[in-house]
Structure 1
Amino acid sequence: MKHLLVDKYSGPNIKFNVKDVLFGGNEKVFISGPCSVESYEQMDELAYQLSNIGVNMLRGGAFKPRTSPYDFQGLKQEGIKILKSISEKYNMPVVTEIMDIRDLEILLPNIDMLQIGSRNMYNYSLLKEVGKLDVPVLLKRGMSATIQEWMYAAEYIMSEGNEKIVLCERGIRTFETYTRNTLDINAVAVVKNKFRLPIIVDPSHGTGLREIVHSMSLASIAAGADGLIIESHINPDLAISDARQTVDVETVHRIIKSVEKMGW
């Protein structure tokens, strides 16, 4: 892939801040929080603990795309208000998923970074719209997307003027059924070698198994990832969504300490 905006041949590596958090620099970025915002009390207690162990940013879903239409779909506007309040209280930037262009009106004043989820990586109308904005974007890889398709999705955003993009490897769908997805560590090394954008890894969705989130987090950093986004909860077994892959705060802390010991 030559002459693409994301290609290293087209310019220097891209670095940018989300408030005080630098992506693409020498320091690893740690993002954590629940799959879904469940209540103010849940987010308040979790953010308090995460802020004390070195987590840089909060994640939390307010609008949740679920495979079944009968599953919890998120608190929507109320969830956004909770994220905004918690972000201000603990001075931690927040990233959350956008599913519909019509939600930009409520998201933009309240959220620091927009997430394009796996299902929307191919939503080119949405990619173009966020490309017109001066807002950081976390672009997750589609569950069946090739690296080339993923890079072209980033191109859709960049071609409209927005270069504040962080790629997120979150596992791809393969013939393997033991894990939820197959975490493609190869993709991390390829992106670091060939492309200009920072990349983080989601070992939660990439594995679906909380007991291997720690080891796959370290493998991701070893491959060159600029950071991690990890699903966490005060009581993981009681999480409304994605409980099986959600870890507790102590596990997040151990991961951060392990990464620090690696010195990368």
Structure 2
Amino acid sequence: MIVVLKNGAEKQKIEELKKNLNEKGLEIHESKGKDVTLWGLVGDTSRITPEELLANDIVESAQRVKAPYKQASRSFHPEDTVIDVKGNKIGDGKICSIMAGPCSVETEEQIIEVAKAVKASGARFLRGGAFKPRTSPYSFQGLGAEGLELLKIARKETGLPIVTELMAINQIPLFEDVDIIQIGARNMQNFDLLKEVGKLKNPILLKRGLSATVKEFLMSAEYIMASGNENVILCERGIRTFDNYTRNCLDLSIVPYLKKETHLPVIIDPSHACGIRWMVPTLAKAAVAVGADGLIIEVHNNPEKALCDGEQSLTPAQFDDLMKVLGKYAAVEGRTV
């Protein structure tokens, strides 16, 4: 339920109303705009009616939220959520944040070399996989905890915040020092895991499931937010369709829809969407043009010998060329990369 307070409402009456709602088992999420104060009520709102709330002279309006995802809904939180990671803002409408790096961390030399290269080209975050969910049990599964330590070394060398994937609840203690925790497509509906990362303070990058609807995607975000962590970044990485000319089908229409429906930042993963290196720059440009808050792009210093997804990874030189072009696309909308 959404409650809008009148301007100039007395502080004492506000506190009295808060106490009354808390006693009914409702949590209050407050959002203060320039001219309005809005409350989002979470819990069993069937115990109270909009008419009861309007009986309070400090209440301007009260209405139920129709969407099943309450906290992720823009009606619940009208202002855009901006996530600040060590001074790098995601979702502020001014910057298209670029996350770049290899699919998998392989060696210290590799991750440092790639980190320095993508930073020089303008990337604001270093992505790299330590734990890798693979379709085949015989494929490279990542370096695990060792890979996390190598990412931290690269962070120390370059200053780039790190983004990497968490796969299981028992791995959480290893991720306390990770700047952005990624929940991959295969874990999008691992609800026990979502509830646990909802207890963390780390920003969570949530990838859309392989065949997930938008509603299912947002309900997964709701699991995280309902557990207390409101720092959620939504990531479209392509979905399965009847065709297979690319690895997945990139749903660019999700960006304007989510921008209207939710207040959360939205980024695009063109690398996993197509799985083909030469397509990545075109899809990246399209994502910036359609209003994405950021991109996550795979970059490897030697794609031909990569242990994972070399076919979709850009070389540092190709990434540098792309960044120069992306800046022009962003500038059309008054943004930078």
Same fold (TM over 0.5): yes
Once the 2 structures are TM-superposed, how far is the Cα of residue 255 of structure 1 from its aligned partner? Answer: 2.1
d(CA) in 2 for partners of 1:146, 1:117: 15
In structure 2, the residue matched to 1:206 is 273
Q: CA deviation at 1:8?
A: 1.0
Distance 1:188 1:255 in 2: 21
Partner of 1:257: helix, strand, or coil?
A: helix
Aligned partner of 1:179 in structure 2 is 246
Map 1:1-264 onto structure 2 (within 5 A): 2=67, 4-11=70-77, 12-25=79-92, 26-109=94-177, 111-262=178-329, 263=331, 264=333
Cα displacement string for residues 22-73 of structure 1 (whole angstroms, at most 9, x for unaligned residues): 1111111000000100000100111111111101000010000000001100
> In the alignment, residue 180 of structure 1 is paired with which amino acid?
R
CA distance in 1, matches of 2:323, 2:264: 23
Q: Decide which moves more: 185-194 or 62-71.
A: 185-194
Matches of 1:190 and 1:81, distance apart in 2:
38
Matched position secondary structure for 1:185: coil
Amino acid of the structure 1 residue aligned with 2:109: E
Deviation at 1:206, TM superposition (A): 0.4
Cα distance in 2 between the residues matched to 1:200 and 1:173: 18
Quote how far apart the aligned CAs of 1:189 are. 1.6
Amino acid corresponding to residue 200 of structure 1 in structure 2: I
> How far 1:188 moved relative to its partner?
1.2
- What are the Cα deviations for residues 124-154 of structure 1, in whole angstroms up to 9, with x where unaligned? 0000001011110000000100011000000
Deviation at 1:227, TM superposition (A): 0.8
State the match for 2:25 in structure 1.
none
Q: CA RMSD in A?
A: 1.0
Moved more, 249-258 or 84-93: 249-258
Superimposed CA distance per residue, residues 192-230 of structure 1 (whole angstroms, 9 cap, x where no aligned partner): 121110000000000011101000001111111001000
Distance of 1:133 and 1:97 partners within structure 2 = 15
Partner amino acid for 2:75? Y
Paired with 1:221 and 1:169, the residues of 2 have a C-alpha distance of 13
Query: Partners in 2 of 1:14 and 1:195 — Cα distance?
Result: 9
Q: How many correspondences in the alignment?
A: 263
Return the structure number with greater relative CO, CA threshold 8 A, min gap 6: 1
Identity across aligned pairs (percent)? Answer: 46
Q: Which 4+ stretches in 1 moved above 4 angstroms?
A: none
Distance 1:219 1:199 in 2: 14
Aligned to 2:63: none
Tell me, in whole angstroms, the C-alpha distance in 2 between the residues paired with 1:239 and 1:15. Answer: 34
Deviations 1:139-192 (A, max 9, x none): 000010001100000000001111111100000000111100000001112111
* TM-score scaled by length of structure 2: 0.77
- Structure 1 unaligned regions, length at least 5: none
Separation in 2, partners of 1:260, 1:46: 20
